[in-house]
């Protein structure tokens, strides 16, 4: 039987730990060495959907333990992924399955380059979840999750477990396009909401912001096409406006991070996009200005 270890037991990690264990697959939460639940030996995690609540108990382990890990699901923020995996790398034998389920791009290549012996998969999810407490998660919106591996058409055997989850999960034979499309949409929405401290819907309602989103989409599309990602960026502006309409009341994760004074994932969103632009000689001044502005907000937060 598969046994999954969850690295990054926050909103998304906690949600997938719950889904896996509910479907009969045992999960262990990998906790920081100072986590008080390590002394208890287990952790109770409560998942709320509307007025329904379910509590699951999980085994826990410190990253620094020595018990081998065969299947690892990584759900930290993009900027924490490499350091988090480094903390458990000694437990991963060659061929261990590692699923990277976070927003953004760039860390996938970093992980594959540093640990080429691991069997690395990438994922993208539109599930919506947030933490209501240290071990309490609200599953606010049901979405879907796509998992894949660049160049691999058919799903591996282990993925049957994921098909049994009480959630919409599917294998993608073209995960690069999936990741690029999500990156392109996030780059057009998240930094603007974070800087203007507004909900997604305001990007359509305020003419100046709508115009900026249009300009960002044009730059992002030009970079995507130069990088060979035509499919991911086709009709990008329409895709972005559809997401804005469907998530009008939402605060983007980047806005939430800025409001909470946390680091954002911008280096793995706009930062990654601009690096591809430089590679292909495609300038993107509007995106570059946004990257600098969001980085400056974070630097101000640190200095405050
Ligand atoms: N939440 C959503 O609805 C949603 C939807 C789609 C995609 N995503 C993406 O999913 C990813 C995770 O987001 P999230 O909302 O679940 O974030 P989150 O709630 O902040 O969870 C991240 C978790 O990773 C833990 N972590 C970081 N470094 C670690 C380490 N070295 N060892 C052990 N644990 C570590 C954090 O612990 P600490 O709290 O102790 O730092 C935290 O519990 C992000 O890329 C996000 O953009 C989220």
Q: Is residue 158 domain-shared with residue 186, that is, in the same domain?
A: no
* Neighbouring residues of 109: CB distance < 8 A, sequence distance ≥ 6: none
Q: Is residue 162 domain-shared with residue 246, that is, in the same domain?
A: no
Choosing from 5, 6, 11 the residue with most ligand 1 atoms within 8 A of its CB, the one to mutate for a pocket test is 11
Q: β-strand 92-101 against 42-49: which pairing, if any? A: unpaired
Q: Do 161 and 261 form a contact (C-beta atoms < 8 A)?
A: no
Active site residue 182: yes
- Cα–ligand 1 centroid distance for 211 (angstroms): 32
Q: Is residue 161 domain-shared with residue 212, that is, in the same domain?
A: no
Q: Is residue 76 domain-shared with residue 145, that is, in the same domain?
A: yes
Q: Is residue 49 domain-shared with residue 104, that is, in the same domain?
A: yes
Q: Is residue 51 domain-shared with residue 192, that is, in the same domain?
A: no
Q: What would the pLDDT profile of 53-109 be if each residue is shown by its tens digit?
A: 999 999 999 999 999 999 999 999 999 999 999 999 999 999 999 999 999 999 999
Q: What would the pLDDT profile of 213-270 be if each residue is shown by its tens digit?
A: 999 999 999 999 999 999 999 999 999 999 999 999 999 999 999 999 999 999 999 9
Q: The domain that contains 58 carries what CATH number? A: 3.40.50.720
Q: Do 96 and 69 form a contact (C-beta atoms < 8 A)?
A: yes
Q: Is residue 168 domain-shared with residue 27, that is, in the same domain?
A: yes
| CA nearest to 176, candidates 196, 150, 209 | 150
Model confidence at 296, pLDDT cuts 50, 70, 90, reads very high
The gap from C-alpha 117 to its chain's centroid, in whole angstroms, comes to 23
Q: Is residue 41 domain-shared with residue 189, that is, in the same domain?
A: no
Looking at residue 221, its pLDDT comes to: 98
Q: Is residue 165 domain-shared with residue 185, that is, in the same domain?
A: no
Looking at residue 302, its pLDDT comes to: 80
Q: What domain count does the chain have? A: 2
Is the pLDDT score of 4 beyond 80?
Answer: yes
DSSP assigned state of 90: G
Model confidence at 1, pLDDT cuts 50, 70, 90, reads confident
Element (DSSP H or E) covering residue 45 = strand 42-49
> By alpha-carbon position, which residue is closest to atom 48 of ligand 1?
12
Tracing tokens 């309409």 back to the chain, one arrives at 245
Listed residues 120, 138, 173: the one ending a domain: 173
Determine the Cα–Cα distance for residues 8 and 14; give it in Å rounded to an integer. 8
Q: Is residue 167 domain-shared with residue 181, that is, in the same domain?
A: no
- Cα–ligand 1 centroid distance for 12 (angstroms): 7
Phi first, then psi, for residue 239 (nearest 5°) are -60, -45
Q: Is residue 299 domain-shared with residue 226, that is, in the same domain?
A: yes
Q: The domain that contains 184 carries what CATH number? A: 1.10.1040.10
- Cα–ligand 1 centroid distance for 10 (angstroms): 5
Determine the Cα–Cα distance for residues 173 and 148; give it in Å rounded to an integer. 6
Integer angstrom CA distances of residue 143 from 127, 163, 243, 285, 302:
4, 15, 13, 33, 34
Of 188 and 298, more confident: 188
Q: Identify the residues whose C-beta falls under 6 Å from ligand 1.
A: 7-13, 30, 32, 63, 75-78, 80, 83-84, 87, 102-103, 125, 127-131, 253, 265
Looking at residue 233, its pLDDT comes to: 98
Q: Is residue 102 domain-shared with residue 150, that is, in the same domain?
A: yes
Name the active-site residue from 5, 77, 182, 276. 182
Q: Whole domain around residue 250: which residue ranges?
A: 177-303
Is the pLDDT score of 304 beyond 90?
Answer: no
């Amino acid at each position: 039987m598969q046994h999954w270890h969850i690295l990054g037991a926050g909103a998304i990690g906690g949600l997938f730990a719950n889904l896996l264990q509910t479907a009969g697959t045992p999960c262990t939460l990998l906790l920081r060495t100072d986590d008080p639940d390590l002394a208890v030996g287990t952790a109770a995690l409560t998942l709320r959907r509307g007025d329904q609540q379910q509590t699951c108990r999980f085994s826990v382990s410190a990253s620094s333990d020595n018990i081998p890990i065969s299947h690892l699901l990584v759900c930290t923020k993009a900027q924490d992924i490499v350091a988090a995996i480094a903390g458990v790398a000694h437990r991963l034998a060659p061929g261990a399955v590692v699923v990277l389920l976070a927003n953004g791009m760039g860390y996938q290549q970093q992980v594959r380059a540093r640990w080429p012996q691991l069997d690395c998969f990438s994922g993208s999810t539109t599930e919506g979840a947030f933490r209501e407490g240290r071990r309490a998660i609200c599953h606010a919106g049901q979405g879907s999750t796509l998992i894949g591996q660049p160049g691999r058409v058919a799903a591996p055997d282990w993925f049957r477990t994921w098909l049994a989850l009480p959630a919409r999960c599917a294998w993608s034979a073209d995960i690069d396009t999936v990741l690029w499309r999500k990156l392109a949409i996030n780059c057009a929405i998240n930094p603007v909401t974070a800087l203007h401290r507004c909900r997604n819907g305001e990007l359509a309602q305020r003419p100046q912001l709508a115009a900026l989103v249009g300009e960002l989409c044009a730059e992002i599309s030009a970079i995507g096409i130069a990088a060979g990602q035509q499919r991911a960026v086709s009709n990008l502006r329409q895709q972005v406006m559809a997401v804005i309409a469907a998530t009008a009341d939402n605060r983007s994760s980047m806005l939430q991070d800025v409001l909470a004074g946390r680091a954002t994932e911008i280096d793995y969103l706009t930062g990654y996009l601009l690096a591809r632009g430089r590679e292909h000689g495609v300038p993107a001044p509007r995106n570059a200005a946004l990257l600098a502005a969001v980085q400056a907000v974070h630097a101000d937060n640190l200095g405050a």
